[in-house]
Amino acid sequence: MSNDQTARSGPASAKTIATLVALPLALLAGFGFFQAMRPPAEPAPQPSVAAGPQVMPTTPVTMAAPALNERQATVCRALLSQLPDQVRDLPRRDVSAGHEQNAAYGEPALTVACGGPAPSFAPTDDVYTLDGVCWHKGDGAWTTVDREVPVRVTVPAAYDTPGQWVINFSKTLLATVPHAERIPVGCGTRA
């Protein structure tokens, strides 16, 4: 018998023991390497106010309905007929008064009121042109200042970045509410 044959038939050789020890260690090292190179887990997204299903109150949102002249009523009806059934994740809700001039979305309610008095503000106040419509932010609401009939959007404090909510109405306003004859300085060009 040769030495090789003796090694195979006798007790485990050093080569065999080394292989039996090295193989699991190599597998563990490879697993550890791949775990270390894996990108970190992203944190779970934080739900927004409107994330997920919402329980909507069944009562209408309380809103005032100032008297409108014939022209204002026509413009407001045109605007309301084109407003979406949902703004982002906020479904449209019933309002207590002025269905032809008011709309509400979500809970807490984001409201849209067409008509009423034009906003008064200092000439030094900032005005914001959002997607072609000029808005003044004051008294907890955003009001158009470059439209024939003022439109007021109230965004509850629970919603982050109110201007990003208001901008959702700009295209509809451009299509339905004509420009005012006079617009404040800072509103840009006519759309």
| pLDDT tens digits, one per residue of 38-58 | 666 555 444 445 455 567 788
Judge whether residue 91 has pLDDT over 50: yes
In terms of domains, do 18 and 83 share one? no
Confidence of residue 19 (pLDDT cuts 50, 70, 90): confident
Residues 25 and 110 in one domain: no
Query: Does one domain contain both 31 and 91?
Result: no
Same domain flag for 30 and 79:
no
Domain assignment present for 44: no
* 135-185 residue pLDDT tens: 999 888 999 999 999 999 999 999 988 889 999 999 999 999 999 988 888
- Residue 15 sits in the same domain as residue 85: no
Residue 59 lies in a domain: no
Residue 184 lies in a domain: no
Residues of the domain holding 108 = 70-176
pLDDT (tens digit per residue) in 92-107: 999 999 999 999 999 9
Q: What is the mean pLDDT of residues 18-36?
A: 68
Question: Is there a domain that residue 190 lies in?
Answer: no
- pLDDT-derived band at 31 (thresholds 50, 70, 90) equals low
Which of 182, 174, 125 is CA-nearest to residue 151?
Answer: 174
What is the pTM assigned to this prediction?
0.70
Domain presence at residue 99 = yes
**Whether residues 76 and 162 fall in one domain:** yes
Q: Are residues 120 and 163 in the same domain?
A: yes
